[in-house]
Amino acid sequence: MSEQRHDEKEEEKRGEKEEEKRHEKDRGWDEKWRHDPVRTITFAAILIWGGIVALIGNFVHNWDGWAIFFIGAGAIMIIKALVRLTPAYRRASGGSFVIGFILLGIGLGWLISWAYVWPIVLILIALLIIFRGLRRR
């Protein structure tokens, strides 16, 4: 009889573990977004920026809205990366810097000239890589 109780307890524990795993999967995106306010705010800020640029584009003629959108989105990503350097929100920020530089380069390339902007973007990304390499030591 004790073996039967032991088996029942084992089965109950397995059931609880499986339930926990299912609960973890169900939380999914909502849980991730809730625990990372910087990502949520960044995503919302880019959407708001896009809406503002589109709205202004309805009133202003001969205006390159896409360039302005990319410049703003790049700036938002760079700000996100800078916020990630603070202790309260510390996480890897190198990718956000790279994406920010690229978005900024796309926008500036349309306004200025691709010939000048892309080398500067590449230099900034290379400096970021060097800085991160030196900082880890």
Q: Which pLDDT belongs to residue 137?
A: 60
> Token pair for residue 30?
């909502």
Q: Return the closest-CA partner of residue 103 out of 64, 65, 69.
A: 69
With a CB cutoff of 8 Å and minimum separation 6, the contacts of 36 are 91
pLDDT averages per 10-residue partition of the chain, 137 residues: 65 68 58 73 96 93 89 96 86 86 92 89 91 77
62: left (phi over 0), alpha (psi -120 to 50) or beta: left
Query: Could you give the CA distance from residue 110 to residue 52 in angstroms, rounded to a whole number?
Result: 19
Q: Which pLDDT belongs to residue 86?
A: 85
Cβ–Cβ contacts within 10 Å for residue 34, how many? 10
Buried-state track 92-119, b at ≥16 Cβ within 10 A, e below 16: ebeebbbbbbbbbbbbbbbeeeeeebee
Q: Which pLDDT belongs to residue 22?
A: 62
